[in-house]
Chain A
Amino acid sequence: MSGSDERPSGLPLLRALIRTYAGHEAADWLNEQVQQLGEPPDRTRFRVAFARAGRKLGDRPLADEQAELRSWTMRDLGRAVLLLEALRTSSDDEQVSLVDHVFRTGELGEQQSVVRVLARLPQPERFAPLAAEATRTNAMGVFEALACDNPYPGRHMSDLAFAQMVMKAIFNEIPVTRILGLRQRTTPELVRMAQDYASERRAAGRPVPTDIALIEGWLEQRS
């Protein structure tokens, strides 16, 4: 066993969800794209399908689903299927290269889709640098897709990258209760950063976000 996460991608579940929620036309279109990808997948064909999946599947949220899938939309679902299928026939190196490429050349919606599926990719810990890159974005939709309702950061990001993501969430008034695994990943260093931020706000005569007290409380509970 490598040290990697052995959780299944849930590809059969995702495909079943497509059948349930997407119309026939969209589901058939998706199947066709998967079949035409080639083994290994042709990158241009993949990028076209990935981009087009937005219009074909639409952005209706999967509101009835469980856990993190609740924050996905139909196009995230379609793109997740496309990506997982493409990775199945790619070498390990090609897998990392493709995901990185799709993220870097993605418009905002595509970037959100990549970030949402990260935890389900094979050997997901390999994509920690990409996740760290995603925390640097100024586009809040992409940042929220990583920080909120997403198991990836809690499971696979380093302590430093995770802490920076939490601090950015606090700064942007995104409730930290939406960050999965925050309680488990709270470190003394993160608490120190949050307390320094509180001090900075007080010195500037600005209100201190209440989320900081929450983080302090969790660390106390554990020690």
Chain B
Amino acid sequence: MKLFDPHIHMTSRTTDDLQAMADAGIAAVIEPAFWVGQPRTHVGTFEDYFLSLLGWERFRASQFGIRHYCTMALNPKEANNPAVADGVMELLPLYLEKEGVVAVGEIGYDDQTEAEEKYFVAQLELAKEYELPALIHTPHRDKKQGTLRTLDLLRDVGFPMDKALVDHNNEETIEAVLDSGAWAGHSIYPNTKMDEERMVAIVQRYGAERIIVNSAADWGVSDPLKVPKTAAAMRRAGIDDDVIAQICWNNPVALFSTSGRLDEREIELRPRVDQTQLWEGNSVLRGQKPVIDS
């Protein structure tokens, strides 16, 4: 079964992870634009990061047979930095035009400040204008309140709920999100946030409709194999392969293909791997024998 991880920060991961992901059946990923562990101090840093999502990270993933898409945004944390916020907003129209950019994200609340709300609204408007889905981060602190406010805001702005992916859900937020008509994302983590067993319980209770699972693997303690591990946990619990395939492949494909930047037929085909290829003169190899698909 092909698997899709629609929220993973590949810029923080090594090729060991890419190889393990490929071996575990991951055929596609979405890397959202986010903050990188500590605040950026120049607009140019954002631009170079955006370019790396479109360039080196896409290339690296392709070298392991994985299709890499990304999203673009001013993330909730750095929306609080007046020195960069407007400058990043000016870049977005250019970067939302790029191939393989399947949503505006990650946007949303972090501390639920006025500044965060201002840029959240502005980027929802951009998503409407570009007819892109919105990949929405919910706060890790005061999450229930933050999620309810998020849903209210989506309604106030008139954002099409069927193109909103509200991510990082837990038992306290999922019902409100599903009731709103939005997609409900779940980030499966080793110690915090959601885990495989609780995800199984959620699927048993709510089914597969508009349910999405991801690893949100990043620079902290996280695991880029959580999607295959969650699929395995669902299988062990007796959940049908059809249901698993809906959650771990069909749902993200259906949602993100509405962007017009992800082709439903093309994504079924494994990209041809040729590890002799270079990106800007750089290879992923360090002395290994290159894999070349025939």
Contacts and interface: CB of A to CB of B under 8 A. Distances in A.
Interface stretch (B10-18, B106-114, B263-271): B106-114
B141 A200 contact: no
Contact of A133 (B37, B80, B198, B220): B80
Interface stretch (A16-24, A33-41, A159-167, A212-220): A159-167
A203 B171 contact: yes
Contacts of B220: 138
B170 interface: yes
A121 B37 CA distance: 28
Contact of A136 (B80, B171, B198): B80
A11 B140 CA distance: 40
Interface string B198-239: 100000000000000000000010000000000000000000
A200 B80 contact: no
Contact of B143 (A137, A164, A200): A200
A200 B39 contact: no
B174 to A, nearest CB: 10
Interface residues of A, number: 24
A6 interface: no
Contacts of A199: 144, 172
Question: Is chain A's binding surface mostly helix, strand, loop or mixed?
Answer: helix
Given A196-B142, A196-B144, A203-B170, A164 B111 contact: yes
B35 to A, nearest CB: 9
B170 A133 contact: no
Interface residues of B, number: 23
B80 A204 contact: no
B41 A139 contact: no
A32 to B, nearest CB: 30
B37 A138 contact: yes
Contacts of B80: 132-133, 136
B112 A160 contact: yes
A203 B172 contact: yes
A60 interface: no
Contact of A193 (B145, B171, B172, B198): B145
Given A133-B81, A161-B111, A204 B198 contact: yes
A168 B141 contact: yes
Interface in B85-129: 110-113
B141 A171 contact: yes
Contacts of A135: 111
A122 B142 CA distance: 33
Contact of B41 (A104, A137, A138, A161): A104
A3 interface: no
A193 B142 contact: yes
Contacts of A160: 111-113
A205 B171 CA distance: 11
Given A138-B38, A138-B220, A200-B172, A167 B198 contact: no
A66 interface: no
Nearest to B35: A136
A167 B110 CA distance: 13
A221 interface: no
Contacts of A205: 198
Interface in A126-146: 132-133, 135-139
Contact of B141 (A104, A132, A193): A193
B142 A105 contact: no
Given A104-B39, A104-B41, A196 B110 contact: no
Closest 4 CB pairs of A and B: A203-B171, A167-B141, A193-B142, A164-B111
Interface of B: 37-39, 41, 77, 80-81, 110-113, 140-145, 170-172, 194, 198, 220
14 contacts: A133-B80, A136-B110, A137-B38, A139-B38, A161-B111, A164-B142, A192-B145, A196-B142, A196-B144, A196-B172, A197-B141, A199-B144, A203-B170, A205-B198
